[in-house]
Amino acid sequence: MNSIALEVKDLVKTFALDGTTINAVDHVSFQVKSGEFVALVGPSGSGKTTMLSILAALLSPTNGQVLIDGQDMAEMNDKRRVKLRREKIGFTFQSNNLIPFLTAQENVEFMLRLNGKADKAGRVRSAEILARLGLNDRLHSLPAQLSGGQQQRVAIARALIHNPSVVLADEPTASLDTERAFQVVETFAHLIHENNRAGIIVTHDLRMCQFVDRVLQMRDGKLVQTYEAKEEIVQLAMGTLRH
Amino acid sequence: MGPNIRWTGRTKMKNIFLAFYLALKEVIRNRGRFFLVSLVIALITLLVLFIAALGEGLANGNRQYVANLDAQLIVFLEKSDYIISSSRLETNTLRSVRRVDGVADAGPIYTSSTEIVSLAEPLKVSMLAAEAGRPGMPAVIEGNYFRSSTARETVIDRNVALRSGLKVGDEITIRSTQGVEDEFFRLKVVGMVAGQSYFFQPTIFVPSATWEKVRPQSEADLNSSTAYPNILAVKVTDPSQADVVKARLLATVPNIEVTDIATTINNIPGYSAQQGTVQTQGFFTLLIGVLVIGGFFQIQILQKVPQIGVLKAIGSSNGVVGWAAVIQIIVVTAMGVAIGGGLTYLFSLGFPPTIPLVFNGSRSVIAIALLLTIGPLGGMVSIIYAVRIEPLKALRLG
């Protein structure tokens, strides 16, 4: 049985804006197990990006707990949070994902360097994972020499190379055409399952949900719906789901 | 405690290695851009080094003879305010000074200026008189001293030889205004001394009696055949007791004032004002350098905000980001200073000896040291900015 990699307990994040308090995340709780790929969906302003920022230890919650491998982020100081991000979390962003002056392989290896694990085995592993993502002939290319889809695949390799417990992806398909977007998310899903990591993808594109195991729908900061049945998820992705 | 210290040390080392890796990779991969920044630093270096060399050259031109005197104290006429040209000592002052306890030797120095007219192009020179073998007369590096105090002979400064092509054994003609008439005197070059510029001019040395005869003088002075020295250079037996000897001189010899070499130099007319001007120019060039370099690195950091955001989001510490910025700035500055130093050297080879540029002075070393600090100093704001970048805002997640 897979262990719980990520646990969110009664999470609240409020912002003050022009004298009023906005509940960006409003008492949200859920768990993600190792080997599970979860989509966080919702309209713009629903709180999903705020949620992802908290999960990535980039933003502190107002209330509630986030536990990664049982470690409570709230109890950590800034240094330990940085360490947590480095060791336990893999992250891909919408854009500006890669270090522009490092080659594809160097970008992936950089996570190993950060964790003090850059060695020959790591070099072989980074080449393997990039080859697995169809980039074996682009190992020494700089990001500017890669297409948007190739860059996202390098970012995925970087997010997984150091065996993090949780892999987070923020709209990784936002700048890709449909075909590339499907390829990227499908590969991402395979790697999450293969490597037994907990994966969370934030997306506004419901079509991408066909590759995930569970869909969490947010609205106005609240978790309003969870889809777990494969049939439901496929219907949601196809746009044919009826409530 | 022990293991914790070791862990912290290891982490710091790891951070610095990572910072080196990032900084050098970026410089190598963007070498065109960084080379351009280095070129700007090189141009600032060129400017600063030339100003430093000019300052050193001008200072040398003004003070070289006085600075190289084999003496610790200078005796002036009382109330001359330590200004050489204002001082004219009595002839018996020299004997009185030599008798003072603690004085090893003293030599008279007579100053004037003239023009060598026997050259293809007339050359203005300082004409000094001093006694051979006494303080005030530099060591001869070629040829001999004058045979007597009345000999029509001269020992020339190497700068005169460099500018005119004169050598030992040649004869020169100098022009001297005597009253209202121009008179011409022939002098034989019998020796040469190392660089001894005085009052921005290369120098020729003549015996004291000859000096009195050939120096430019007014109608009133023409009636006198006695040479009055401007100053006396005093060599003391124990240099550490110079202040004691100075007090003794003031107490026992009438109508004099005594000071050290540094004060004498600072009171050479125009010296302090000129050096102040050059140093102000140098200071403002460095200041502008700091601002320009600071601006460059700040723009670069602003362009790299998303990149730094990614680095921090994936777990790079502030230490890694900050050190990478520092190392990069140091590397680029060092490159710029090295290029600028090389360019300065190449340019200096083409300058004629009439332009007073001296590159081997301590000023050049200080200028290089200061130039190496302007990068990190100018980049300070950008380093602080880089460390303070919040990944959330940089990645526009917040």
d(CA B354, CA B217): 28
Nearest alpha carbon to residue B215 among B146, B206, B223: B206
Establish if A220 touches chain B: CB-CB under 8 angstroms.
no
d(CA B363, CA B161): 26
User: Within a domain: residue A243?
Assistant: no
Mean pLDDT across chain A: 90
Establish if B25 touches chain A: CB-CB under 8 angstroms.
yes
Q: Which of residues 262-301 of B touch A (CB under 8 A)?
A: none
Region B224-242: what's the mean pLDDT?
A: 92
Query: Are residues A96 and B307, on separate chains, in Cβ contact within 8 Å?
Result: yes
pLDDT band at B7 (very low <50, low <70, confident <90, very high): low
Residues A57-108 pLDDT 10s: 989 999 999 999 999 998 899 889 999 999 999 998 887 679 999 999 999 9
Query: Are residues B22 and A99, on separate chains, in Cβ contact within 8 Å?
Result: yes
Under DSSP, the state recorded for B147 is: S
Chain A residue with the nearest C-alpha to that of B24: A101
pTM beyond 0.90: the answer is no
d(CA A53, CA A13): 11
What are the structural domain ranges in chain B?
A: 10-63+272-394, 91-254
The reported pLDDT for the residue numbered A2 is 66
Above 90 in pLDDT, residue B395? no
Establish if A4 touches chain B: CB-CB under 8 angstroms.
no
SS3 readout for chain A: CCCEEEEEEEEEEEEEECCEEEEEEEEEEEEEECCCEEEEECCCCCCHHHHHHHHCCCCCCCEEEEEECCEEHHHCCHHHHHHHHHHHEEEECCCCCCCCCCCHHHHHHHHHHHCCCCCHHHHHHHHHHHHHCCCCCCCCCCHHHCCHHHHHHHHHHHHHCCCCCEEEEECCCCCCCHHHHHHHHHHHHHHHHHCCCEEEEEECCHHHHHHCCEEEEEECCEEEEEECCHHHHHHHHHCCCCC
Q: Identify which of B26, B391, B392 has the shortest CB distance to residue A101.
A: B26
User: Within a domain: residue A102?
Assistant: yes
d(CA A209, CA B67): 86
**Bridge partners of B12?**
none
Q: Identify which of B307, B309, B315 has the shortest CB distance to residue A82.
A: B315
Nearest alpha carbon to residue A74 among A91, A92, A46, A55: A55
d(CA A132, CA A190): 11
What sign results for the dihedral spanned by CA atoms A103, A109, A115, A119?
negative
Establish if A105 touches chain B: CB-CB under 8 angstroms.
no
Q: Identify which of A53, A86, A102 has the shortest CB distance to residue B25.
A: A102
Establish if A13 touches chain B: CB-CB under 8 angstroms.
no
Establish if B314 touches chain A: CB-CB under 8 angstroms.
yes
Task: Pick the residue of A50, A58, A89, A111 with the most B CBs within 10 A to test the interface with B by mutation.
Answer: A58
Nearest alpha carbon to residue B71 among B237, B225, B199, B217: B237
What sign results for the dihedral spanned by CA atoms A130, A135, A136, A142?
negative
Where b means 16+ CB within 10 Å and e means fewer, B80-90 reads bebebeebebb
pLDDT band at B235 (very low <50, low <70, confident <90, very high): very high
Domain count of the fold of chain A: 1
Q: Cβ contacts (< 8 Å) between A97 and chain B: which residues?
A: 310
d(CA A111, CA A31): 26
Above 60 in pLDDT, residue B5? no
Residues B339-381 pLDDT 10s: 999 998 898 888 887 777 887 767 778 888 888 888 888 888 8
pLDDT band at A1 (very low <50, low <70, confident <90, very high): very low
User: Within a domain: residue A9?
Assistant: yes
Q: Identify which of A56, A87, A106 has the shortest CB distance to residue B313.
A: A56
Establish if B26 touches chain A: CB-CB under 8 angstroms.
yes
pLDDT band at B116 (very low <50, low <70, confident <90, very high): very high
Query: Are residues B306 and A96, on separate chains, in Cβ contact within 8 Å?
Result: yes
Q: Cβ contacts (< 8 Å) between B14 and chain A: which residues?
A: 116
Query: Are residues A85 and B315, on separate chains, in Cβ contact within 8 Å?
Result: yes
d(CA B297, CA B78): 58
Q: Identify which of A53, A82, A96 has the shortest CB distance to residue B310.
A: A96
Above 50 in pLDDT, residue B142? yes
Establish if A61 touches chain B: CB-CB under 8 angstroms.
no
Q: Identify which of B14, B25, B320 has the shortest CB distance to residue A101.
A: B25
d(CA B230, CA B252): 19
User: Within a domain: residue A220?
Assistant: yes
Above 90 in pLDDT, residue B256? yes
Pairing of strands B123-130, A222-227: unpaired
Q: Where are the beta strands (DSSP E) in chain B?
A: 73-77, 103-116, 123-130, 140-143, 153-157, 171-178, 181-193, 203-206, 231-236, 256-260
Q: Which of residues 365-394 of B touch A (CB under 8 A)?
A: 391-392
pLDDT band at A157 (very low <50, low <70, confident <90, very high): very high
The reported pLDDT for the residue numbered A25 is 95
Establish if B307 touches chain A: CB-CB under 8 angstroms.
yes
CATH code of the domain in which A164 resides: 3.40.50.300
Whole-number Cα distances in Å, A87 to A146, A167, B187 = 27, 11, 88
Q: Which domain holds residue A230?
A: 4-238
* Alpha carbon of residue B132 to chain centroid: 28
Residues B25-71 pLDDT 10s: 999 999 999 999 999 999 999 998 888 888 888 888 888 899 999 99
Supply A152's token pair. 């996202």
Share of chain B above pLDDT 90, in %: 54
Q: Identify which of B21, B317, B397 has the shortest CB distance to residue A58.
A: B397
What count of other Cβ atoms lies within 10 Å of the Cβ of residue B148?
10
What count of other Cβ atoms lies within 10 Å of the Cβ of residue A120?
7
Task: Pick the residue of A82, A108, A158, A165 with the most B CBs within 10 A to test the interface with B by mutation.
Answer: A82
Above 50 in pLDDT, residue B398? no
